[in-house]
């Protein structure tokens, strides 16, 4: 499953390990650790609209758990649900399954049994940062996403894969780590795009130009503004994307 681009990344990264490992350890030790968002992991947006709610499920890593903001209403799921309700003119019943540090393969093992009920109309998969930083193999990444996509499509849900975030803009990381992890993230993102197209899922590219104030104080997770811009951009894309 590994293309020549993947081999090229390893060819550059392996000789740099004596430098990269101390950098990574120091970054881990000095990183500001923010808690996940508090409060319920489900909610209803657009209650004033007179229609049956769209059932939305977000499944993924720390951004789904709302790390960087106080509650999930201000995180990606809440921002997306509110923006989507406004654009569609119908309520959005949302649910979030997110965990800080989880990979796509771990999500398959931990969450697929929990994601059975209630069924969702729209499932948004938000993965890639942890698979990038933990150097998940291309095969592991591919197989996990394939399993997730097939699982929810078999339930009749529309499945959307969000682009792997651009780690080269994460200011908490030293420059060399940013460049290498950003490159690695782009490799996983290209693989995700091709897989989604092959399996009949949708792929939403990263359409937000990064700014400093889009990041929380840890320089790693989105701020309230970052989540809002991301959620609104995703809602715009979803409302314009043909089913």
So what's the pLDDT on residue 209?
Answer: 73
Spatial contact of 240 and 85, defined as CB atoms under 8 Å apart: no
Q: What pLDDT does residue 26 have?
A: 85
d(C-alpha 171, C-alpha 38), whole Å:
25
What pLDDT was estimated at residue 12?
86
As given in the structure block, the two tokens for residue 144 are 């996990």
Q: What does the block give as tokens for 238?
A: 């979803």
Domain ranges of the chain: 4-10+35-240
d(CA 240, CA 87): 10
Across 59-73, average pLDDT: 94
Joined tokens for residue 156: 């009749």
> What's residue 242's pLDDT?
56
Q: What percent of the chain has pLDDT over 70?
A: 94
At 92 the three-state DSSP class reads: strand
pLDDT, position 115: 62
The angle at the Cα of 152, spanning 37 to 58, to the nearest 5 degrees, equals 15
Task: Give the model's confidence band at 1: pLDDT under 50 very low, under 70 low, under 90 confident, else very high.
Answer: very low
24-33 mean pLDDT? 82
Residue 28 confidence (pLDDT): 81
- Tens-place pLDDT, residues 152-172: 999 999 999 999 988 888 888
Place of tokens 């200011």: 171
CATH of 4-10+35-240, one of 3.40.50.1980, 3.40.1410.10, 2.40.30.160, 3.40.50.1110: 3.40.50.1110
pLDDT at 2 over 60: no
Among 4, 58, 20, which Cα is nearest to 174's? 20
In angstroms, the CA 57 to CA 155 distance is 13
Predicted pLDDT of residue 91? 97
Q: How many other C-beta atoms lie within 10 A of the C-beta of residue 107?
A: 25
- pLDDT value, residue 23: 83
Is the predicted pLDDT of residue 6 greater than 80, yes or no? no
Indicate whether this model's pTM tops 0.85: yes
Q: What is the mean pLDDT of residues 125-139?
A: 93
Nearest residue to 59 via CA among 171, 170, 147: 147
Q: What is the mean pLDDT of the segment spanning 40-57?
A: 94
Asked if 133 and 173 count as a contact pair (C-beta separation under 8 A), the reply is no
Distance (Å, whole) CA 235 – CA 80: 6
Give tens-digit pLDDT for 173-214: 889 989 999 999 999 999 999 999 999 999 998 666 778 888
């Amino acid at each position: 499953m590994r293309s020549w681009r993947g081999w090229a990344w390893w060819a550059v990264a392996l000789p740099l390990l004596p430098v990269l490992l101390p950098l990574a350890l120091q970054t881990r030790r000095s990183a500001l650790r923010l808690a996940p968002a508090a409060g319920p992991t489900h909610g209803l947006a657009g209650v004033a609209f007179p229609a049956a709610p769209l059932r939305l499920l977000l499944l993924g890593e720390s951004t789904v758990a709302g790390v960087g903001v106080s509650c999930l209403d201000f995180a990606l799921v809440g921002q997306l649900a509110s923006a989507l309700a406004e654009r569609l003119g119908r309520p959005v019943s949302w649910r979030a399954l997110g965990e800080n540090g989880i990979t796509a393969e771990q999500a398959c093992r931990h969450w697929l049994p929990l994601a059975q009920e209630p069924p969702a109309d729209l499932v948004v998969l938000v993965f890639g940062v942890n698979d990038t930083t933990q150097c998940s193999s291309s095969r592991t990444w591919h197989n996990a996403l394939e399993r997730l996509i097939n699982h929810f499509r078999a339930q009749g849900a529309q499945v959307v894969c969000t682009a792997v975030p651009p780690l080269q803009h994460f200011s908490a990381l030293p420059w060399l780590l940013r460049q290498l992890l950003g490159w690695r993230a782009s490799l996983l993102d290209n693989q995700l795009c091709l897989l989604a197209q092959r399996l009949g899922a949708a792929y939403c590219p990263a359409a937000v130009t990064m700014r400093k104030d889009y990041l929380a104080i840890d320089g790693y997770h989105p701020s309230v503004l970052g989540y809002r811009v991301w959620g609104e951009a995703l809602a715009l894309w979803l409302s314009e994307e043909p089913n």
